[in-house]
Structure 1
Amino acid sequence: MIWWATDATHDPARISWVDSANGHADFPIQNLPFGIFSPAGGAPRLGVAIGDCIVDLLACANADLLPKAVATACSGDTLNALMALPASARRALRHRLSDLLSDSAHAGRMKLHLHDAADCALHLPARIGDYTDFYVGIHHANNIGRQFRPDNPLLPNYKYVPIGYHGRASSVRPSGEPVRRPKGQRKPPEADAPLFGPSARLDYELELGVWIGAGNKLGDPIPITDAVDHIAGFCLLNDWSARDFQAWEYQPLGPFLAKNFQTTISPWVVTAEAMLPFRMAQPARPQGDPAPLPYLWDEADQRHGALALTLEVSILTAAMRQRGDAPHRLSSGPASNMYWTVHQIVTHHTSNGCNLNPGDLLGTGTISAPERGGYGSLMELSAGGREPLVLPGGETRTFLEDGDEIILKATAAAPGFAPIGFGDCRARIMPA
């Protein structure tokens, strides 16, 4: 099978008997993302977003509506078992759900297992064993690097190695949970010794999350040609960052308390299958850049490994909420501003024999554009705090203040296909 080939589930003419799905900005029938939800008064279980509703997969499995090969994987309270299935089994489930939700002959039975999303709570989609954050947004790396090394913003390894570090899985939280301003050590330039207290330079980072499906055995690397078989889906990811802590602690071992206090993700897993129409060629490397080493190179990945996604960041301050204002967009840009593909980061992660497991989470690192309108963090937008942003109503920001809410969105679009979205990834800053 050609892994990037589309099928009937991607047909833009396909509509659903769930009226709210037709033309839905995020969850038309062409999307069908998986998540974990609780209906009012109920326990967490697997669900699929369709328009303004959620399909109860546990109830569907109990009613013998789903393929038997996947029914057991739909009976838990995390997506780990579903993610661990072969891609062929996930495709079979997607096809069955698309048929159940498009053919009105099934509407009578399926309506029994449909919930209004507004009445449900959403949870972390998987039990995350490990979380790794990469640094593949080259424009972010350049923008930040210029603040410290104007003549040489990128370190020598950047164009050879997909840079990453191991984050903290225990503090990953779903959209909507507030972020407590962290306390830690920081050393202002004028101080003789470090201080301990709340971060004064709290920031967001606009990233994609990559969910691992089938894992690999310890000592058994994943070849670049097989990486596609190990990706279950995608989400939005906000890697909150205390820039003042980071500047003091990151040498010589890299991020620690500046990053591990919380990471926010969107709760719906947009499957690798749903994203097939939005595969695009990886942008060509600038002339003179080194070619990736052979273990990171695959022609098919270069032709289809990037994602046609538009990413967006907005802010809603306490004053804006009080006035009833809409969120203010801070930036917008394409996810193709990644120097390495998701397949390359999976391959590199396992190249030394490291084992990945179903439900592991990878972050791409901040995805920025070369121009200001597409910057993915306040560290870039405010030039390290030197150039305050002016918001509607006259407020200014260099970094986040208590009460600020950051909202990430993503839309996948390609000619000849129905656009799909990821849903919100949002959180509000609470006092330390």
Structure 2
Amino acid sequence: MRPMTAHWRKALARRRRQLMQAAGDGAILILPAAPERVRSRDTHYPYRQDSDFWYLTGCDEPDAVLVLVPGRAHGEAILFCRERDPAREAWDGPMLGPEDAMEALGLDDAYPVSDIDDILPGLLEGRRRVHYHLGRDADFDLKLIGWINRVRAQVRQGAQPPQEFLELGHLLDEMRLFKSADEIKLMQRAADISVEAHRAAMRAARAGVHEYELQAELERVFRLHDAQPAYASIVGAGANACVLHYRANAAKSRAGELVLVDAGAEYRGYAADITRTFPVDGRFGKAQRALHDLVCAAQAAALAQARPGVPYEAGHRAAVETLTDGLLSLGLLKGTLKTALADGAYKRYYRHKTGHWLGLDVHDVGEYRIDGASRLLEPGMVFTIEPGLYVPADDATVEAKWRGIGIRIEDDVLVTDDGHRVLTGALERSADDVERLMAGG
């Protein structure tokens, strides 16, 4: 595990205190670490800690459980984790161990995870409410029910088992939605690394390059800066760009095609998410530029709505209206703007929403609607703005020049006190700027 500064230990402790205050007296909050996942036989997927567990502990080990007990006299923040094992450490590297966990993570108490069956029922006893992600980990669900049943079995002896299960996300998701200054610094670093990676991919583009070669350029830059992909990188050349979650990344590009790259770095757990679309040989064709300019205009329209007090959905509505009006002007849609919006005709070429929350998860936690209405933007929220247009290669209802063109432009946006800041704004976006970069400018 990476060494943690005193500043970060204090930040983690503040988060835990804030969460316990929200849960109130009589509560107990239980959060297991992410389990390891087998890839094949005896090899595992690269380990990625559960985002909530990371947010509250900064611990990146499996086989651990965080328990928060508001008001407990002997300490409120307790970690169960693996004991140090020299034989296992010789294979897998250093382990934290309960002895060092308290100081390293700023916790009140720590025990071997092997002792959890003996200790946790006693922590549950006398607590009225259990805050937990029920249904996320079926194996741990069964363990928790077993511990609660052990408390229930002692009711005649005066034991008081919990009476209520509450979804932990109701409290924790809202906390995570609002990023602190420290979190924003990490997100800006993830964004800066991602900007450099996208530039590297643009500069490596040429007719005949394989999609996986461009992916290799992206991820080389991620690793060069001690980051990793925040999600599976999408590199789609030609009509592959019209597949929203394209994954193959195996095709060879051809002269005259566009390449859509949707990729972002994860740095210290925090994600960036950028999409750019560029001509593989450095120059947009006339039809390509027309659609690219339209997507840029839609993004600008959505970005103008990114300020406190504005409904989250206002950005999507602004992008949709701009795209629909442009599609009518270019002849890809027929009729009036009012009719095309009412009928949803634009969905033929624009099939997704205009963004999502961003943070520890690339599709981060947080409600988009409250009491049935779009929630209002507030400072500290971070989200993407990513309009796009996708004209299927087999769409015989439009002129051939439009067919097979897929374009998406995506940036990461922080809501500030007086407007917004585009964390990824340094990356070239307009057709002119993209061409200039690819020409060596």
User: TM-score if structure 1 supplies the norm length?
Assistant: 0.26
Q: Larger Cα Rg: Structure 1 or Structure 2?
A: 2
User: TM-score if structure 2 supplies the norm length?
Assistant: 0.26
Compare the two structures and name the one with the higher helix fraction.
2
Larger RCO (alpha carbons 8 Å, 6+ apart) = 1
